[in-house]
A and B are shown apart, each in its own frame.
Chain A
Amino acid sequence: MGLLSDPNRRKALTGLLTRLNTPICIVCYLAGIVWFMGLAFEPFTLRTYMSENAMGSTMVEERFSSGERALSLAKEFDAHKRKAGGMPVEWLVKAMQSRGLEVFTQSFSRKLPFPDENKERYMVRGTNVYGILRAPRAPRTEALVITAPCSPGNTNNQAVALLLALAQYFRNQIYWAKDIIFLVNEHDLIGTQAWLEGYHHTNITEYISGSLRGRAGSIQAALSLELSSDVITSLDLVLEGLNGQLPNLDLANLFYAFCQKLGVLCTIQGKLQRNDWDTAEGYTHAAQTMMLMVLKQACGRSWGDHGLFLRYHIEAASVRGINSFRHYKTDATTIGRLLEGMVRKLNNLLERLHQSYFFYLLPSLSRFVSIGYYMPAFGLLAVILLLRALDLWVHLGAPALAAVDGVTEAEQPSSPGVLTVLTPVVISHLTGVALYLLPVHLQEMAVEHFPVSETEAVVLTAIAIYTAGLALPHNTQRLLSGEGTEQGWKVLKLTALLYLAVLLGCTALINFSLGFILAVTLVPITASITPALYAVVMVLLSPAFTILYCVFIYQELIEAPVSVSEGWMLFLSVISQGILDHALYGSLVYPLLALFIYPCWLMFWNILFWN
């Protein structure tokens, strides 16, 4: 007889499985954590390299020289911005037109689901101004985008001014094979989203905007600039985009190559690269950089204006100038040259960037970890769930083993079990739906009855529904006929484990960081849950607390640790930002947590109160 259908052999194998299950699970969990932390260890990483043949090396001659003019233009822009009280549309249009660009404006308006603390109103209205530099000899089939946000106050004046100076310099060159679009957007991400939707004629979110009158072909790459001071000491590269999507690694390689050529200090996650990887400090530095990237990728929001381009398969990155009062300073001309070099190299592209990796982690700007190296860390955690499920399956089949094989064994105990499983599943998912829909819809009612602002109302409603879900098992127990209680919770746990494995697997494929962080907290607790476990432990490892821990860890990593109360306020703002991101840009983190992860966790919570 075969290996699995012979009952003796089967008993031996299953006995092995059940005996060794817990040790294997613990070993896998520790191995997964150690593997993940080991990714930042330099000998396990690879040096970055340019994969795209057409971009080649940094051999271009940069001749941009109007850095000083850009700085004086920044002051002019600032003055006009103050006078206009927002975006100085006419001045920008005139400035771009005098530089020989084809200028168009787009006005947009967006109704926010609730006014957040930045905007403080329901309706956001704005105008985007963009100028197209037509390539002198090329057909208008491809384009590059350089964008600088127009922010209120003192920020980003130099970015817009550098944009205009570059436009003037680029207009005098004849080697452009693609059109270049210079975009100044208002209201940061909202403006960018409106522009992209108008450009591509899509309607992902309900924007009301005029259609774009000027178009330049399919966009191959985009760069976003953020410069807020005349003097810069380092340039920070921001890669994480919406839903944790990352641009092609070649864009980061290009940036790094030019930084090295021009001698500009470049950082990622605000951290400089170190050379001493074999010391403890060197390793922790790299691990901190990687953890920051993981946290930023997991929260699924776009950390720069570039993040919204990625959804349209446009490789984009944000370059942020930082003034940290070092001795060695970089002037605006050098930054202009860096951008000139990058754009000139992107101009040489024949196809979209596709030769290098799309899924990677960066412990530093010159080292990367590709998906083939980091995915086993998640795989080890997911294997625990599957082992546990297999163990439960074996236990459920064990009492009626006697003479019957195969399918009928499992059916006997689970036929009353199916009904017991179905109720918690349905109720958990209904709670999830409530968590997803109610906070935004009930905010008016909440504001009437309680003295809170709308944002607080939404967040507090969400937390209230979350906590109310904790009380559910006590009430739903009365509804079910808990027959065969021992079997019942095991069947529920089996279903929930498989469901969680599928969920985490799918999440990790799209957004590895989110999947991994959820797995790290959820897998140990769900694998070891029994009705006899302490409820407190379960609550402390629930998704909401995971978010809280991440907030604290993030603040630690960016060297701005917060006290408990400040952390709590940050936590609330993170939740409101998540809901807002989902409504405005289509971020999937909030729906995933509310509609899938939370109900799954509630199913496990039901097991705790099975008796």
Chain B
Amino acid sequence: MRIFTFCTIETGQFFSSGHTNNWAVLVCTSRFWFNYRHVANTLSVYRSVKRLGIPDSHIVLMLADDMACNYRNPKPATVFSHKNMELNVYGDDVEVDYRGYEVTVENFLRVLTGRLPPSTPRSKRLLSDDRSNILIYLTGHGGNGFLKFQDSEEISNMELADAFEQMWQKRRYNELLFIIDTCQGASMYERFYSPNLMALASSQVGEDSLSHQPDLAIGVHLMDKYTFYLLEFLEEVHPASQANMNDLFKVCPQSQCVSTPGHRTDLFQRNPGSVLITDFFGSVRKVEITKDTINLTSSLKPLIQSGDMQIESLTYVDQLPVAEIIHQKPKQKDWHPPDGFILGLWTLILLVFFQTYGIKHLKHIF
């Protein structure tokens, strides 16, 4: 009887774990040959994610330009991440789902929210459910509050936050890890307000993310610094490793990256120290070997473990803290001298006055 109860507890634990499947959405938003490094960034994360177990059917890879077959590539069909051609991240097993001009803001948001036309093939859909852990990786050129897509449009941090909220309301994810490698990347996760989101960025607002090494034979920069060190870190991770998110936060400190990487965990329910890297980057199947029979009747209740997982009481971050805004005292603004517009306006008024009434009044004033 005791053994049975013990098994019940363990099976309860087994069926109460957080996620059951993993998805990855990897997006490179820049085109043109001199943005080779963004494609290499995305492909190196793709490579790690695939190596750790997520299959192509669960990866949505969006590359805005084709570097491997670009006319200027002296080594066609390759994309290198390390100079001297050490590592070809293009390999021979790459499945690009959105390519070239298909990588647009609209398509990206439709993939996230699932609002795709019925004719869209499965490989282009994010078919996640409420037990999916999703990894989202974005790279390209960005600024304070926006990310540039294809040199012609941009996505703002507010749009991204709203897209994640839509995903939450439709229960399209269990937990979501958002990594962004652009200039001023931290501005992109500032506006998130949905639960179970963890975010990492390569640089703070006001800082630029820098590129890593050029390769003289190819003639371009191969990778960005943050993703280069991220790749090095991920190369050490294997499916059974117990490395957790705190190690990921330590990747590329300022001494290596020059910019200061940032992260955001306040919306995340679990303690980052207990979140394994493979929870997001890999697709680890839980296997427990037992010699006992297990009764799978409905009497099995999922165990609530305190401190780890809260299922019912979810909190939302207040998107528009109106109460705070109303009751706040107005900030003491520093006095600035009147700017040019006001000065010009007053000069104009004075001139018109004196023009109408004559210059002689000027003598009285000065």
Contacts and interface: CB of A to CB of B under 8 A. Distances in A.
Interface of A: 1-3, 9, 53-54, 56-57, 59-61, 135, 137-138, 173-177, 344, 347-348, 350
B32 A54 contact: yes
Contacts of A53: 34
B217 A177 contact: no
B72 A347 contact: yes
A142 to B, nearest CB: 10
Nearest to B33: A348
A587 B67 CA distance: 45
Of B32, B70, B359, the most chain A CB neighbours within 10 A belong to: B359
Contacts of B355: 2-3
Interface residues of B, number: 18
A174 B70 CA distance: 11
A61 B217 contact: yes
A175 B74 contact: yes
Contacts of B216: 59-61
Contact of A176 (B32, B71, B214, B359): B71
B206 interface: no
Nearest to B213: A59
A2 B355 CA distance: 6
11 contacts: A56-B34, A56-B219, A61-B216, A137-B69, A175-B73, A176-B71, A176-B72, A347-B72, A348-B33, A348-B72, A350-B33
B337 interface: no
Nearest to A62: B216
A54 B219 contact: no
Nearest to B31: A350
Contacts of B32: 54, 350
A60 B215 CA distance: 8
B358 interface: yes
A501 B225 CA distance: 58
Contacts of B359: 3, 9
B220 A56 contact: yes
A59 to B, nearest CB: 4
B34 A54 contact: yes
B215 to A, nearest CB: 8
B219 A60 contact: yes
B73 to A, nearest CB: 6
Contact of B71 (A3, A61, A138): A138
Interface in B72-114: 72-74, 76
Contacts of A175: 71-74, 219
B361 to A, nearest CB: 13
A348 B219 contact: yes
Interface string B35-57: 00000000000000000000000
A170 to B, nearest CB: 12
A174 B33 contact: no
Contacts of B34: 53-54, 56, 348
A176 B73 CA distance: 9
B74 A173 contact: yes
Interface in B318-365: 355, 358-359
In order of increasing CB-CB distance, the 5 nearest A-B pairs are A177-B71, A61-B216, A138-B71, A175-B74, A59-B214
A347 B72 CA distance: 8
Interface of B: 32-34, 69-74, 76, 214, 216-217, 219-220, 355, 358-359
Q: What does DSSP make chain B's interface, helix, strand, loop or mixed?
A: loop
A56 to B, nearest CB: 6
Contacts of B71: 135, 137-138, 175-177
Contacts of A135: 71
A524 B213 CA distance: 59
A354 to B, nearest CB: 15
B100 to A, nearest CB: 15
Nearest to A137: B71
Nearest to A60: B219
Given A135-B71, A348-B33, 17 more contacts: A1-B358, A9-B359, A53-B34, A54-B33, A59-B219, A61-B216, A61-B217, A61-B219, A137-B71, A173-B74, A175-B72, A175-B219, A176-B72, A347-B72, A348-B34, A350-B32, A350-B33
Contacts of B214: 57, 59
A173 B34 CA distance: 19
A56 B359 CA distance: 59
Contacts of B72: 175-177, 347-348
A118 B32 CA distance: 49
A340 to B, nearest CB: 12
Of B34, B217, B219, the most chain A CB neighbours within 10 A belong to: B219
Given A3-B359, A60-B216, A137 B33 contact: no
Contacts of B358: 1
A173 B72 CA distance: 10
A222 B73 CA distance: 22
Contact of B76 (A57, A137, A177, A350): A137
A138 B70 CA distance: 9
A177 B34 CA distance: 14
A577 B73 CA distance: 47
A209 to B, nearest CB: 32
A344 B72 CA distance: 9
Nearest to B215: A59
A348 B217 CA distance: 14
A174 B72 CA distance: 8
B322 to A, nearest CB: 44
Nearest to A6: B358
Nearest to A135: B71
B210 to A, nearest CB: 14
A174 B76 contact: yes
A347 B358 CA distance: 66
Nearest to A175: B74
Contacts of B217: 61
A53 B211 CA distance: 14
Contacts of A177: 70-72
B78 to A, nearest CB: 12
Nearest to B69: A137
A572 B220 CA distance: 53
B141 to A, nearest CB: 10
A2 B73 CA distance: 70
A61 B355 CA distance: 69
A61 B216 CA distance: 5
B219 A344 contact: yes
Nearest to A59: B214
A300 B9 CA distance: 93
Contacts of B73: 175
A169 to B, nearest CB: 14
A2 B220 CA distance: 65
Contacts of A137: 69, 71, 76
A338 to B, nearest CB: 15
A270 to B, nearest CB: 32
Contacts of A3: 355, 359
B239 to A, nearest CB: 38
A356 B358 CA distance: 50
A350 B32 CA distance: 8
B38 to A, nearest CB: 14
Contacts of A176: 71-72
Contacts of A350: 32-33
A53 B30 CA distance: 14
A258 to B, nearest CB: 13
A59 B214 CA distance: 7
A288 to B, nearest CB: 38
A61 to B, nearest CB: 4
A54 B70 CA distance: 14
A23 to B, nearest CB: 25
Contacts of A56: 34, 219-220
Contacts of B33: 54, 348, 350
Contacts of A174: 74, 76
Nearest to A52: B34
Contacts of B220: 56, 59
B144 to A, nearest CB: 20
A1 B359 CA distance: 9
A19 B80 CA distance: 75
